[in-house]
Amino acid sequence: MSVTDLPRFDMVHPESLEALCTLIHEEKERPGGVAMLAGGTDLMVEIAQTGSRSGPLPLVVDISRMAPLRGISFDAGRLRIGAATTYLEIERSGLVQQHAPLLCRMGQDVGGPTIQARGTLGGNLATSSPAADGVAAIAAYDPVIVLRSVRGERQLPLAELQTGYKQSSRAVDEVIVAVECDPPPVGSPWIWRKVGTRLAQAISKVAMGGVAVVDEGRISRFGLALASVAPVTCLMSATRAYVLENELSAVSTAGLDAAVERDVAPIDDIRSTRDYRVHCSRAVVRAFLRQLGASV
């Protein structure tokens, strides 16, 4: 498909966050809907796959250059990443490298250089794909998602945003403004693992982000999330509970594997099989626990 084959969309460029919220609220009943364009790494694929689709086209709202949706800050122990901040900007950020290095490492693997330069964390959250590397990585930090509409601002834990496969609790007239989290102390252990056919150039078979705080042989904070193993980004609640309830010396391979298997619910698809994904899930979680000092 060439550019000339693409459908002709109406496109607007709001000048402020308030104008954006008003626009998407007023257009929420529009035939064809509203499509917010940040990096376009999901939207353009959808357009290419559907071709010259029949029926009304969405209104495309370009939010890629909106200052309130961009940038990275750290204040009073809280890291804030604007929803339209690109993965390349995250990867190169000194603040992220200091306080959440897992995100920098993930940024090197989330597609090739073109995707890294265009793709955004907010975009991945909005599309709610269970295979999104960026969501699995930030999920390890137990973030809150900042949403804005004409009704005001609200914050949602990631677990409450994800409601099903490519579904979320975000209202049709809400925009994701930022992602915020409270990272562990600087220097705390972390891990990023991506299992894929060509690493950065392929969607993950399994991807995992993890962070931890270890105090005298016991884990006092344990963040863990896996991509491509469930209908949503898997927050690994059973595995987290098992690890936090036991001293590191008491964590067993059998107990850990059983917890992982209670959490994940992978499927067979074109990229991998259910059995292989279960095997990989157990393996990457064990690798992190070994890094933390467990004998598994």
Task: Mark whether 81 and 174 lie in a shared domain.
Answer: yes
Task: Mark whether 36 and 71 lie in a shared domain.
Answer: no
Q: How many domains does the chain divide into?
A: 3
Task: Mark whether 211 and 287 lie in a shared domain.
Answer: yes
Looking from the CA of 62 toward its CB, the CA atoms found within 13 Å total 8
Task: Mark whether 220 and 248 lie in a shared domain.
Answer: yes
- List the domain range (segments joined by +) for residue 168: 67-181
Task: Mark whether 97 and 13 lie in a shared domain.
Answer: no
CATH of the domain at 253: 3.30.390.50
Task: Mark whether 92 and 175 lie in a shared domain.
Answer: yes
Task: Mark whether 264 and 221 lie in a shared domain.
Answer: yes
Task: Mark whether 71 and 158 lie in a shared domain.
Answer: yes
The pair phi, psi for residue 63, each rounded to 5°, is: -115, 10
Task: Mark whether 214 and 142 lie in a shared domain.
Answer: no
3-state secondary structure 219-282: EEEEEEEEECCCCCCECCHHHHHHHHHCEHHHCCHHHHHHHHHHHCCCCCCCCCCHHHHHHHHH
The strand pairing partners of 210, in sequence order, are: 191, 224
Q: Are 173 and 21 in contact (CB under 8 A)?
A: yes
Who's near 137: CB < 8 A, 6+ residues apart?
A: 102, 103, 106, 192, 207, 209, 225
User: What pLDDT tens digit does each residue of the chain (296 aa) get?
Assistant: 444 545 577 889 999 999 999 999 999 999 888 888 887 666 666 665 555 455 677 888 999 889 999 999 999 999 999 999 999 999 999 999 999 999 999 999 987 888 888 899 999 999 999 999 999 999 999 999 999 999 999 999 999 999 999 999 999 999 999 999 999 999 999 999 999 876 556 789 999 999 999 999 999 999 999 999 999 999 999 999 999 999 999 999 999 999 999 999 999 999 899 999 999 999 999 999 999 999 99
Task: Mark whether 73 and 177 lie in a shared domain.
Answer: yes
CATH of the domain at 104: 3.30.465.10
The last residue of a domain, from among 181, 207, 234 = 181
CA–CA distances in Å: residue 54 to residues 2, 11, 46, 127, 192 = 18, 18, 14, 22, 42
Residue identified by tokens 């370009």 is 62
Per-residue pLDDT at 3? 47
The last residue of a domain, from among 32, 62, 92 = 62
User: For residue 3, what are its two tokens?
Assistant: 């550019």
Strands 162-164 and 167-168 turn out to be antiparallel
Task: Mark whether 273 and 209 lie in a shared domain.
Answer: yes
The last residue of a domain, from among 123, 157, 181 = 181
Per-residue pLDDT at 1? 43
> Which of helix, strand or coil describes residue 42?
coil
Task: Mark whether 227 and 253 lie in a shared domain.
Answer: yes
Q: Angle at the Cα of 109 (from 106 to 111), degrees rounded to 5?
A: 125
Per-residue pLDDT at 199? 58
Q: Are 57 and 32 in contact (CB under 8 A)?
A: yes
